[in-house]
Structure 1
């Protein structure tokens, strides 16, 4: 039975990363990322100004209040700095499925290993809550994100053609990948633990 509760304040952490529920007050910690255009290159939601980021956070928090999404803020303990945001969305409690996305990191936190720590915490939490499937979706042009998901063990399932309208008005193809609870518990949890601690 799914134990996930939208009203609970879930805090996930290890020795490197802290992943906690996003709050409106977090705008001041994340606003510096709005000045980094590359962070928003593949985003379908505009958040590259302080005003737009405020709206972005407000909508994410409303989606949580509506029982649809659960947004997080991510913190790097090594640099003592908030690094970005991610969220569970398209949460289907009756089907034991959810999606993990809307993920972005400030440029200085990309390629530092923080993402692997955060993904480990989020995967492990989701599957401990008895979700059976975690899905990812990305712009097929976002090669870095796709490579990162595959490096975690996610399986490519297919391409949704002309699926989403980009901020520039063009249409994108979307790649869908997933991780199953059985795969995580039997193989990829331990492989990711090895990668995390081998690169510390």
Structure 2
């Protein structure tokens, strides 16, 4: 079972051409970039998990109360697949092909060789199984393979799971951007993290140590979720 490999996606039609669009395979996950070819079924699954069953966008700018049509047309397609500096991925259990979450490259800056990992969530039935951690570490390896020198991670000061994932993935906490933005009726402090190329050999050991501990992904019942 490979712990990391990439597969070209020549049919990718999204606006992001800053880096090659590939499918990234890990111990349990297959990350596939999505574009306007995303099916109705897939986009409804993403909406159900992230905006109906749970508000996984509570720390992000998108307001899930806007409804499914806005989610698909303005958020998934308009904001993500048509953004030149963002490359979003659907995370699937590679053994069952079930959608288990999302992870993304953002703020891709080829001149400075910096890139951000963000807009991450794990579907309720698969939370607590290091899905976000595995997908993040796969993106970290790919970014470093491409020659980026700095990977950034920014998160809401109240988003403790995101802060824990950053630390577990090997990011270094750099500081707090105080009152960095106004989000959903309150002022947000932004926690800033990074990994740089000089330290990635050590971080890679952290990644390898995580990968050998991963167990098969299970669909677990979550009380109150639709269909559970």
Matched residue count? 192
Structure with greater helix share of residues:
1
TM-score by length of 2: 0.77
Does structure 2 conserve the Cα–Cα contact (< 8 Å) formed by 1:73 and 1:82? yes
Any stretches of 5+ residues in structure 1 without a counterpart?
none
SS at match of 2:212: helix
The residue that corresponds to 1:191 in the other structure is 206
**Residues 80 and 140 (structure 1), Cα distance of their counterparts in 2 relative to 1, 3 Å cut:** same
Residue 191 of structure 1: how far off its partner (Å): 1.7
2:118 and 2:154 in contact (8 A); partners too: yes
Q: Contact 1:46 / 1:56 at 8 angstroms: preserved in 2?
A: no
Query: Post-superposition shift, 1:113?
Result: 1.9
Query: 1:141-168 CA deviation, whole Å, 9 max, x = no partner?
Result: 111110110111111111111112212x
Distance 2:90 2:18 in 1: 16
Match of 1:86 in 2: 103
In structure 2, C-alpha distance between the alignment counterparts of 1:144 and 1:108, rounded to whole Å: 16
Residue in 2 that maps onto 1:52: 70
Matched, 1:175 2:191: yes
Root-mean-square deviation (CA, aligned residues, Å) is: 1.9
Equivalent residue for 1:14, pick from 26, 29, 45? 26
Per the alignment, residue 44 of structure 2 pairs with 28
TM-score by length of 1: 0.87
